[in-house]
Structure 1
């Protein structure tokens, strides 16, 4: 009996020790970082470093100018690029206002604040993507696959004739590297968070306050980047339609409250009216190229992503990713048929659906059937092809590039001109790069490069015509003087082959481009400095 009792005690003790060991082991295992945390952190470092080394280019100057104008007058900023009122400009979003507040508190310039926003935007994007994929599947490797497919399965890049669009919001590695610091990237990150927070109450319900929070977040996405807001809204509709099974009046009322909150907050934003942008066609001409070369641009995502969507549709006719893809394609088609090509930007959301579907399917718990093997091989081949075609150039420095991958743009710096031009002074130029870079340093232009709701399009066209007439070799001195007086032109920036006006004097030469900065006589007190460049330049 004693031996039995002793054996019982020993067995119980062994069980307690074993249970404690399991608990300790489970606790240690819970401290192990998830695969997405490891690979996401690595991607944040690599992509952030790659984006940091890209010089100021593209629309960077536009966004830096927005921060500069808001920092100068937070409540009534001027137009981002010309000497005109800025009321109604959609660039003055909550994101830009926050950047301006940071600039005022820190004393940083606009371009410095924009540059520093890149790592933050990437962090929001990565965390939002991880949260949303967890709503779709609990498999730990699914977010890692989703990140890989999003940044690699985007088709050939710019300069190949059928490259990925060079606008922010598209998540190919090369465009992401170029536009990491732009508001569109931040809006995409918020979109993933919005979808993640929508998916949970749509599937299992939520507290009433959570629906109001969803409405506020949706309004923020729309205000930060209105075109991305269209795709974000499509995703919310797809998630609610696909996952919300209850049609109880209380549930419908909560989703109605979320939508009402979003509309009210968007309508109350004081800087511009987001609803005035609906049907606005001023940017349609710029976005028409989105509809060219669609097959060549999106074949990687289509080849391996559409079969994954088809598998999900067979299992569930209301699958959210399938609905998202179908609704986005419908909007893109309507944009093409109506001529409102700006809605082609919804292609960025349309491509996300098959990419995420592929990641979820490959990470699923079912045994590896032949269909999944085919998908895996196709995804690996397509991702490898895209990496070799374009995306390697986003992270491989030109100095160590053995093949000649396509690199992000390497625009020349216009700091040499900006250091001579005072804040707010007006520059007349038709240089594609200078018109996009100079406003970020503080100067104004005669004519803005892009349409803006704060400046009527007829007035913008008149300004563009004035620039053309001023730079026309056949223009007279009296015509140029009239244009200079009307727009208070103090500086002229010319290409090396453009004729210099007689009333202007050379101030500096561009070290890389050979462009000539000239001061219009009588426009300022600074004396010309002909020693800043080689003799004979400024012809």
Structure 2
């Protein structure tokens, strides 16, 4: 009996050793459970930026994404057009990411704008963990992910670049709750998994998982997926040396699964977006002032060059070169939407610099120069982006702050969900649908509504609000589009048949009710005879 007694103890010891090794791997230590630098500073960054994003007022594209959640909350399986009383079949906004948001809104009863706000903290977790895994495929240095995070959010340019999918601190804070941030976080995870499979291989299930992840990125944010897939290919080419039948078959499996995931998604066809030029005009401005918006990131170019000199198949160098070619194609072809990958094009520069600076000392003169340039660049970057996390009340130097659009909850409280509003205001047409109302004319192109029809609706709005419009013309537009409300700027005249209901507390904009069968009459000033205090 005594000879068999120690066996459970040996099993217990082996189990304890596995637990210790697992905990040590998670927290980054070797001989203790001391947390890694990235866990400490990444957590602090998550708390700070999540709080900063929450305080950014609803603006820009936020209302569009909140409207998507509202429509899915109303009908998860067959949502209407995001911003108009039309069918939503084929709208690329109905991605897996948005459907999960809609299901969460149904389950909790939260409003669309609340769900979008809450999504910011979740997106940041995906982004930060993905960054950590991606950088760890490039180096084992514990401080490299911390440096990569700092450089990624600050090393941009001396003019703010504000766009969804741009990872500068100011833009990231404003667009944190959007699908682009979630998609980029998944892209980082895809790069990390690709690097591991390219280096050491894996089971067919792992390759299929990579394919499913790439397909998900493609559905969540198609334009970011262009850069994400370039990165995947770069890590494959840079990491795989031997190509035999099994390896080729596994990578083919990954590609097939990615295509299959995209094909079976029932809400829209991502491949129908190829060649779509409806939003190219909007994105042309991405190519303006590029030097001022991005030049600080070029500090990482020497580090990328050194990597390429050491390895002509370095994945970061390959990724950067390919993405530059895509951006150039967007410019010369007029498909300016490809400029949206500019934000991810800087990532190879920033990551390469972080890896180089994470190397142990003593540093050669070239690395010391890079460190000094990076320090100056990040300081200049913070002057541009610091207002994202420094509130105006404690701002010592007057940082630029995120946009502060007027809020439209005052109008939404009076408009029933789904009722149609006629407005030509830039900000209300982008914000108001996020609370549930519909518009006569959507502000953004959408695959579920042909562009000629959207243009016809915009023309109807302009005709209705024209000073020389007749009562008969206005009545016909009201009947055709089932208009129930007008939202007018203070200098626009409300028709006599409209009843002024409320005034915007920040802008003085006017909300007026339109009867279902308006009676003819002449126009009168939008404020009518009553004062705002009597609304």
Fold shared by both chains (TM-score > 0.5): yes
How far the C-alpha of 1:154 sits from its partner, in A, is: 1.6
What corresponds to 1:208 in structure 2?
204
CA separation in 2, counterparts of 1:123 and 1:307? 31
CA separation in 2, counterparts of 1:72 and 1:445? 17
Root-mean-square deviation (CA, aligned residues, Å) is: 1.9
What corresponds to 1:467 in structure 2?
461
User: Out of 39, 51, 54, which is 2:53 matched to?
Assistant: 51
Measured against aligned partners, the alpha-carbon deviations of 1:30-63 in whole angstroms (never above 9, x if no partner) come to: 3000000000001001111111111111111111
Change (3 A) 1:346 1:28: closer
Q: Which SS does the other structure have where 1:30 is aligned?
A: coil
How far the C-alpha of 1:521 sits from its partner, in A, is: 2.5
CA separation in 1, counterparts of 2:459 and 2:368? 59
What corresponds to 1:392 in structure 2?
386
Show the 5 A alignment for 1:38-437.
38-157=40-159, 163-164=160-161, 166-302=162-298, 304-365=299-360, 367-388=362-383, 390-437=384-431
Change (3 A) 1:436 1:315: same
Measured against aligned partners, the alpha-carbon deviations of 1:313-343 in whole angstroms (never above 9, x if no partner) come to: 1101100000000000010111111100000
Is the 2:139–2:355 Cα contact (8 Å) retained in structure 1? yes
Change (3 A) 1:483 1:94: same
Is the 1:509–1:533 Cα contact (8 Å) retained in structure 2? no
How far the C-alpha of 1:179 sits from its partner, in A, is: 0.6
Q: Which SS does the other structure have where 1:500 is aligned?
A: strand
Measured against aligned partners, the alpha-carbon deviations of 1:381-426 in whole angstroms (never above 9, x if no partner) come to: 01101111x2110011112223221101111110100000001000
How far the C-alpha of 1:29 sits from its partner, in A, is: 4.0
Where in structure 1 are there 5+ consecutive unaligned residues?
Answer: 1-22, 158-162, 525-529
Q: Which SS does the other structure have where 1:177 is aligned?
A: helix
CA separation in 2, counterparts of 1:236 and 1:127? 17
Q: Which SS does the other structure have where 1:143 is aligned?
A: helix
Measured against aligned partners, the alpha-carbon deviations of 1:467-507 in whole angstroms (never above 9, x if no partner) come to: 11111111111111111111000000000011111221100
How far the C-alpha of 1:519 sits from its partner, in A, is: 0.5
Is the 2:156–2:296 Cα contact (8 Å) retained in structure 1? yes
Change (3 A) 1:110 1:492: same
What corresponds to 2:5 in structure 1?
none
How far the C-alpha of 1:293 sits from its partner, in A, is: 1.1
CA separation in 1, counterparts of 2:259 and 2:95? 16
User: Out of 473, 480, 483, which is 1:486 matched to?
Assistant: 480
CA separation in 1, counterparts of 2:322 and 2:421? 45
What corresponds to 1:497 in structure 2?
491
Q: Which SS does the other structure have where 1:450 is aligned?
A: coil
Where in structure 2 are there 5+ consecutive unaligned residues?
Answer: 1-19, 519-524
Measured against aligned partners, the alpha-carbon deviations of 1:437-486 in whole angstroms (never above 9, x if no partner) come to: 11111100000101000000000000111111111111111111111111
CA separation in 2, counterparts of 1:79 and 1:30? 54
How far the C-alpha of 1:367 sits from its partner, in A, is: 3.6
How far the C-alpha of 1:522 sits from its partner, in A, is: 3.4
Measured against aligned partners, the alpha-carbon deviations of 1:346-373 in whole angstroms (never above 9, x if no partner) come to: 1122111100000011112464000000
Is the 1:78–1:84 Cα contact (8 Å) retained in structure 2? yes
Q: Which SS does the other structure have where 1:136 is aligned?
A: coil
Measured against aligned partners, the alpha-carbon deviations of 1:141-192 in whole angstroms (never above 9, x if no partner) come to: 00000000000012234xxxxx31x322110000001011111111111111
What corresponds to 2:17 in structure 1?
none
Is the 2:479–2:516 Cα contact (8 Å) retained in structure 1? no
Q: Which SS does the other structure have where 2:486 is aligned?
A: strand
TM-score when normalising by structure 1:
0.90
Matched pairs, number: 501
CA separation in 2, counterparts of 1:366 and 1:259? 42
CA separation in 1, counterparts of 2:218 and 2:255? 12
Measured against aligned partners, the alpha-carbon deviations of 1:71-121 in whole angstroms (never above 9, x if no partner) come to: 111111100000000000000000000011111111111111111111000
Q: Which SS does the other structure have where 1:512 is aligned?
A: coil
Q: Which SS does the other structure have where 1:490 is aligned?
A: strand
CA separation in 2, counterparts of 1:326 and 1:345? 16
CA separation in 1, counterparts of 2:484 and 2:530? 23
